[in-house]
């Protein structure tokens, strides 16, 4: 199993890594990116991933490349999936986000999920609302991953 994680928050990333270690019997090969641009470059250059775990809000550029690009873009995950569709990349994607409502456009995670199911049905597998104060996200992610594994 080869997984790309596109996530800019270190604490959230660590919890996801711990979850994956517990979920899979055989430790997956994991590649990590911290921005929209590095994530796009990774999957454009290597489409051999079995799964992409994608944050919705992240910087456009990695911190090491440009400190001005560090401001999170609310819908960077949406842009990455748009670019995947344009390029014909159909690696399964699961969105893992800390936002139930995206204030920029006043759109809920449920509304985004509906949009993604329609627009990216070839590779979008679902979304998970991440809260570090609760383990509910782990159960949700486990359900989505079981569905993905059945399709692999």
Query: Along the chain (152 residues), what's the average pLDDT of each consecutive run of 10 residues?
Result: 95 96 94 95 93 94 60 85 95 94 84 96 96 94 88 58
Domains of the chain (ranges, CATH numbers): 2-151 (3.40.50.2300)
Residues 6+ apart with CB under 8 A from 69: 35, 37, 59, 60, 61, 62
- H helices of the chain, in order, are 10-23, 36-45, 76-87, 109-119, 136-151
Between strands 58-59 and 72-73, the pairing is antiparallel
**pLDDT at residue 6 in the model:** 97
- Secondary structure letter of residue 48 according to DSSP: -
**pLDDT at residue 102 in the model:** 84
**pLDDT at residue 13 in the model:** 97
Model pLDDT for residues 105-147, shown as the tens digit of each residue = 789 999 999 999 999 999 999 999 999 999 999 999 999 999 8
């Amino acid at each position: 199993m080869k997984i790309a994680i596109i996530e800019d928050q270190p604490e959230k990333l660590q919890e996801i890594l711990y979850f994956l270690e517990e979920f899979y019997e055989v430790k997956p090969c994991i590649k990590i990116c911290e921005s929209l641009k590095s994530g796009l470059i990774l999957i454009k250059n290597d489409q051999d991933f079995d799964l992409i775990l994608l944050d919705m809000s992240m910087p456009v550029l990695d911190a090491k490349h440009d400190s001005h690009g560090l401001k999170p873009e609310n819908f960077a995950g949406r842009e990455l999936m748009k670019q995947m569709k344009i390029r014909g990349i159909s690696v399964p994607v699961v969105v893992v986000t800390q936002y139930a409502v995206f204030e920029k456009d006043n759109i809920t995670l449920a509304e985004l999920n509906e949009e993604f199911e329609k627009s990216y049905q070839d590779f979008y597998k679902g979304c998970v609302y991440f809260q570090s104060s609760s383990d509910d996200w782990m159960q949700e992610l486990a359900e989505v991953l079981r569905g993905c594994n059945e399709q692999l």
